[in-house]
Amino acid sequence: MVIITVGGLNARLAFAISAAAFGSAFQHGFNLGVINAPLNIIRHWMNVTNNERSGEYFTETEQTMVISIMVSIYCVGGMIGGALTGFFAERFGRKGGLLLNNIFALVAAVLFGFSKMANSYEMLIIGRFVIGINNGLNAGLCPMYLSEIAPVNLRGAIGTAYQLVLTISILIMGLDTILGTDDLWPILLALTGLPAIFQLAALPVCPESPKFLLITKDEPVTAQRALTWLRDTTNVQDEMGEMRNEAEASKLVPSVSLREILTNPTLRIPLVISMMMMIAQQLSGINAVIFFSTDIYKSAGLSSEAALNATIAMGTMNVLMTFASLVMVEKFGRKTLMLAGLSGMLVDVFLLFICLLLKDVVPWISYFSIFLVIFFVVMFATGPGSIPWFFVTELFAQNARPTASSIAVAINWTAAFLVGLGFLPLHELAGPYVFLIFVVLLIGFILFTWFKVPETKGRTIDEITAVFKQTAYGANSV
Ligand SMILES: *[C@@H]1O[C@H](CO)[C@@H](O)[C@H](O)[C@H]1NC(C)=O
């Protein structure tokens, strides 16, 4: 039986986590998945719209181009949003930044909702860009807020909440078939306004991050009030003391600049680690395997209904395993889960490669491939899916956290963008051999994690940054 350590979790903290995660992570997962179901209908509508406006239909090339722009501009928005994380977090606060970010979601919802009425696919494209900015900011600000309101012993579990809600929303979007119809798709896309409205209603009740109030704003009284609210007890002296230590340490450099973070070795080492974790998440092959899953189900002779069930099973396993990782991350640590997940994915993707080569020779092997696809997702959810989002917030003290998050989150979206752009051409070129690229990459990520990534479980930020000072300057000089 699994026992969840609930020390430190109370109703108020749970409410703050929900307000942040359902508002932000749901928004992110929703938009990752929402465009798939109505894509063909939108394609057709764009073609017809173009004819109504100019009297000409799209050629195949034009059509592909407009759709590609619509899909990829979302990632470009994400990169920009990710890069803006630091500015928003410092200027408006973690909670303030999250609240403000909902404006982007509402603007996008309006653009989506009226695009069909206005006969304008440009509105759809701009909407995708705007919601991309929103999702990028969410992916940076939400894990930061969660990590800063969490007690040390639950920081990983609470950080995992981001990915948990994200997988839940992807699963829900996979089930949707009702709204992906001719008339209703603008409404479907505009539903992105709902998580924003939810967050605008729920998050104002919760306090700003106590660390932001104390260390960045130097407001000890409001910080203590916020912490008292979150812990639901006035006995917060120890934690206040810990935060004061962090504040003392960061007084010398109130806010770390981009230049500083790239040149100072005690900051550059954790930055490289955070970036590698983000790259590992995106370049581990998860999107490739999910993309291939349709083919694999088909070649195993699954009917389209059975294939849909397999997809739902995959999404469900993703949610369940992410939930399990939420518990395990405080028990076994970040590094262990990351290594376990990446190693499982390595073995899995290699077997999958062999299965794809043999699928015409050995008929039953298709069924084994289905198992491998689902197992791959399970391994992804064990660690690589959730840990990178909050790991960056654990490696840096308050003064460097916003800048570091900006870079790491922007890198994540860039990697996602490149995979989206490069995978299909590579697949056309190399067929199943494209999986060998992931084998090589995964070996690299495993070695990097093994040798370079420190364990952060149960450690305070002070203790973690001390590790990097030692690595950078040698144990004796600190
Ligand atoms: C656009 O619609 C016209 C008329 O239905 C069709 O002939 C043409 O192939 C369509 N173009 C694309 C790219 O689908």
Considering the domain architecture, whether residues 451 and 340 belong to the same structural domain is answered as yes
Nearest to 120 by CA among 186, 190, 27: 186
Tell me if 269 is assigned to some domain: yes
Model confidence, pTM: 0.91
Report, as an integer, the average pLDDT of 301-313. Answer: 81
Instruction: With cut-offs at 50, 70 and 90, classify the pLDDT of residue 474.
Output: low
d(C-alpha 441, C-alpha 354), whole Å: 17
What pLDDT is recorded for position 271?
Answer: 95
Q: Give domain status of residue 217, yes or no.
A: no
Domain limit, last residue, from 206, 239, 265: 206
Mutate to test the pocket of ligand 1, among 58, 63, 64 (most ligand atoms within 8 A of CB): 58
Look at residue 349 in the predicted model and tell me its pLDDT.
93
Q: What pLDDT does 478 receive?
A: 36
CB-based contact 306:413 (threshold 8 Å):
no
The answer to the question of residue 302 being in a domain is: yes
pLDDT at residue 419 is higher than 90: no
Question: Does residue 385 form part of some domain?
Answer: yes
Pair 296, 202 in one domain: no
- Print burial letters for 133-168: b (CB count within 10 Å at least 16), e (below 16): bbbbbbbbbbbbbbbbbbebebbbbbbbbbbbbbbb
- pLDDT tier for residue 7 given thresholds of 50, 70 and 90: low
Q: Do 344 and 469 belong to one domain?
A: yes
Residue 3 is predicted with a pLDDT of 40
* 424 CA to centre of ligand 1 in angstroms: 24
Give the confidence band of 84 by pLDDT, cuts at 50, 70, 90: very high
* CA-57 nearest atom, ligand 1: 1
Q: Looking at the structure, tell me whether residues 315 and 464 fall in a common domain.
A: yes
Any ligand 1 atom below 6 A from CB of 47: yes
How would residue 476 be classed by pLDDT, with cut points 50, 70 and 90?
very low
Does any domain span residue 80? yes
Question: Domain check: are 462 and 321 in the same one?
Answer: yes
Phi (first) and psi of residue 457, to 5 degrees: -55, 130
CA angle 378, 7, 203 (to 5 degrees): 75
Quick one: 278 and 345 in the same domain? yes
- CA quadruple 291, 296, 301, 302: dihedral sign: negative
Which of 47, 49, 54 to probe ligand 1 with, by most ligand atoms within 8 A of CB? 47
Q: CATH number of the domain that 93 lies in? A: 1.20.1250.20
Residue 79 belongs to some domain of the structure: yes
Return the pLDDT at 2.
40
CA distances 374 to 123, 369, 371, 381, 473, Å, are: 37, 9, 5, 11, 44
Residue 212 within any structural domain of the chain: no
* Nearest CA-CA partner of 246 in 277, 206, 274, 209: 209
Shared domain for 266 and 200, answered yes or no, is no
Structural domain contains residue 384: yes
Same structural domain for residues 318 and 465? yes
Evaluate if residue 163 carries a pLDDT over 90: yes
Q: How many domains does the chain have?
A: 2
> E strands within 91-249?
none
Same domain, 155 and 60: yes
Q: How far is the CA of 183 from the centre of ligand 1 (A)?
A: 19
pLDDT band at 176 (very low <50, low <70, confident <90, very high): low
Long-range contacts of 44-51 (CB under 8 A, 24+ apart): 45/116, 45/121, 46/121, 49/119, 49/120, 49/121, 50/121
Q: Is the pLDDT of residue 222 over 80?
A: yes
Ligand 1 site, residue 57, Cβ cutoff 6 A? yes
Residue nearest to atom 6 of ligand 1 (CA): 57
Q: Of the ranges 136-145, 426-435, 457-466, which is most confident?
A: 136-145
Which range (38-47, 321-330, 361-370) has the least confidence?
Answer: 361-370
The rounded distance, in Å, linking the Cα atoms of 395 and 155 is 12
Least confident piece of the model among 178-182, 189-193, 262-266 = 178-182
Do both 202 and 271 map to the same domain?
no
Is the model's pLDDT at 8 over the cut of 90?
no
Residue 47 exposed, middle or buried by CB count within 10 Å (0-12, 13-18, 19+): middle
Q: Which domain holds residue 21?
A: 8-206
CA distance 355 to 38: 32
Q: Which of 166, 184, 206 is the last residue of a domain?
A: 206
Q: For position 343, what pLDDT does the model report?
A: 97
Q: In terms of domains, do 195 and 326 share one?
A: no
Mean pLDDT (the chain, rounded): 90
What is the amino acid identity at position 4?
I
> Same domain for 194 and 287?
no
Q: Is 40 in the pocket of ligand 1 (CB under 6 A)?
A: no
Query: Is there an atom of ligand 1 within 6 Å of 60 CB?
Result: yes
Q: Ligand 1 center to residue 116 CA distance, Å? A: 18
